[in-house]
Amino acid sequence: MKVRFVGLLGILACLFFSTGCATVTGSGSNQSISVETLGKDGSEVEGARCDMTNDEGTWFVKTPGSTVVHRSNKDLEVICQKEGMDVGSAHVVSRTKGNIYGNIILGGGIGAIIDHNNGTAYEYPGLIKIFMGKYNGKIDYKSLQATAAPKEDTGLASKSKENETLHQKNSASERLKKLQGLLDSGLISQQDYEVKKKEILKGM
């Protein structure tokens, strides 16, 4: 009797973990995605129709706007069109969520299989920007970060360079004033003054 009771507990435990594993990812099969369309100069383009397709279906949105798509491990093909403009397109890469590995650990892979089949194990970037008139390549989380980082770095570098240039000009101006004072007081000759002046101006 005791053996049968222990066996029953084992079966209940397996059922519990098998069911629970399907919810480890904590999200449904659908995902909301926002789409923006831009001109070649980076200005916003409104009113473009974007079709988004993966192996689960096709959805469309009018930019700027959002729509809900079915998650998948396949790329999301995006094609945006607007009258009077060339087509803009891209492939949005699906990534595997880190918490799917929790399913493998807890449920021996059963939960992971469930999440794979219904798409909850995958996600696309929440915001997609499409430049009209060209193929935008593959868009994923890494490419979005790489695109954003240089803009911030460039701004900081430019500001730093401006400050350095201003500091050099102020420093040179002070040195020229001191040099002029030495000349006026007769501590250096006119020839020495001209030589030092050239050195200071050259260093600016």
71-87 pLDDT, tens digit each: 999 999 999 999 999 99
Which range among 3-7, 24-28, 140-144 shows the weakest confidence by mean pLDDT?
Answer: 3-7
Which residues share a beta bridge with 70? 30
Query: Does residue 174 carry a pLDDT above 90?
Result: no
Alpha-carbon separation of residue 102 from 24, 109, 111, 119, 123 (angstroms): 7, 9, 9, 16, 16
Q: Are residues 41 and 121 in the same domain?
A: yes
Q: Are residues 125 and 34 in the same domain?
A: yes
Three-state DSSP string of 42-91: CCEECCCEEEEEECCEEEEEECCEEEEEECCCCCEEEEEECCCCCCEEEE
What is the pLDDT of the chain when averaged over all its residues?
74
Q: Are residues 85 and 177 in the same domain?
A: no
Alpha-carbon separation of residue 185 from 140, 172, 173, 189, 195 (angstroms): 69, 20, 19, 10, 17
Q: Are residues 184 and 87 in the same domain?
A: no
Of the two residues 19 and 158, the one the predictor is more confident about is: 158
The answer to whether 166 and 173 have CB atoms below 8 angstroms apart is: no
Number of domains into which the chain is organized: 2
Query: Does residue 112 carry a pLDDT above 80?
Result: no
Query: Does residue 89 carry a pLDDT above 90?
Result: yes
Q: Are residues 105 and 7 in the same domain?
A: yes
Question: Which of residues 85, 106, 139 is at a domain's end?
Answer: 139
What per-residue confidence (pLDDT) applies to 22?
41
DSSP output for 135-154: EEEEE-HHHHHHHHHHHHHH
Containing structural domain, residue 66: 2-139
Q: Are residues 120 and 156 in the same domain?
A: no
Query: Does residue 135 carry a pLDDT above 80?
Result: yes
Grade residue 98 by pLDDT with cuts at 50, 70 and 90.
very low
Q: Are residues 83 and 181 in the same domain?
A: no
Of the two residues 197 and 31, the one the predictor is more confident about is: 31
Q: Are residues 23 and 114 in the same domain?
A: yes
Query: Does residue 59 carry a pLDDT above 50?
Result: yes
Q: How far apart are CA 136 and CA 2, in angstroms?
A: 65
What per-residue confidence (pLDDT) applies to 61?
96
